[in-house]
Amino acid sequence: MTQNSLDRRVTAVCAKDHLVLTLANVTDTARTLERNHLCGPVAGLIQAEFTAAAALLGTLTDHDGQTVLLRVNFPDGQLRGAVIEVTHEGTVRGYVRRKVLPELDDADISDKELFRKAIGCKAQCAVIVSDRSGADTHAVFGCGFEDHLSVTDILEEYFNNSLQRRAYAQISAASEDGHVACAHALLCEFMPEADQSACGDVEKRFDDGSVQAAMDRGADIAEIAALLGVTPTGFEEKPIRFACTCSDEKVIAMLRTLPKEDREALIAKGEPTDIYCHMCGRGFTITPEQLKAL
């Protein structure tokens, strides 16, 4: 299942400044996942942030067939965790473990407290880069803070510590009337030869809220480059869209792996069986006749 989208990831190489900027807009993709999974306001917004993070992780792929999977568990957060996947072709799919948070969706508390309760203060994470040949690269790490944790923190932890690549990230997502209104993400990655003072100047722009404010008002990558005081020398654009590889054929193939007695029990019910794809929320209805045919 594939969704048409206006979403894009734009990468700007700033050769003289020894850094690469990547700006992603995943609003359409985040809205599709929110709708498919029937997410509540809080889960939908955090899922949008993970969707934006996935678009940036897609820069780690370099050939068709490669995928990057981010799996996160929140041991002290009500959301419990999230799984998101991006392909080299630019398709994204995934989900958060709890779709509705009744205790938080109507809570009259600050955004900071809302996210603290939903995510918690620590996370257990895994990033898996794989291709069709079965070759995988794994990174398993944990991160946490005393007051709160964000999807941005997870992304920076992966780039700076697991990959040992100096980078700053900013994710900006917002909702309106309980639904995702926008979702963007920015990654600023320094090359090894980058000047340390220049790195410090860029870091200040992230820390003082200037980058966040620019993204909130919809600044494009040229505006953000100007804000950071760097000069792009080349741009590359890639479409981003929601898509999932689930299908009727794959559901039937999965049912074939069930023990015979389990299939017979489903047939004995005499009514259709509904099966849902965890990664995209799509539902499949399997009739008793289809089960008998197995």
User: Model confidence at 1, in pLDDT bands (50, 70, 90)?
Assistant: low
How high is the pLDDT of residue 269? 84
Q: What is the mean pLDDT of residues 33-42?
A: 95
Phi, psi (deg, nearest 5) at residue 147: -95, -45
CB 80 within 8 A of CB 97: yes
Specify the pLDDT at position 273: 86
Half-sphere exposure of 189 (CA within 13 A, CB side): 21
**Domain 8-242 class in CATH:** alpha beta
What mean pLDDT is predicted for residues 25-43? 96
Give the mean pLDDT of the chain.
Answer: 92
Going from N- to C-terminal start, the domains of the chain cover 8-242, 248-293
pLDDT-above-70 percentage for the chain:
98
pLDDT recorded at residue 4: 62
Q: Which CATH superfamily is domain 248-293 in?
A: HSP33 redox switch-like (3.90.1280.10)
* pLDDT for 244: 93
pLDDT (0 to 100) of residue 3: 58
Q: How do beta strands 241-242 and 91-96 pair?
A: parallel
Identify the residue whose tokens are 């994710």.
171
In 3D, which of 88, 227, 81 has the Cα closest to residue 154? 81
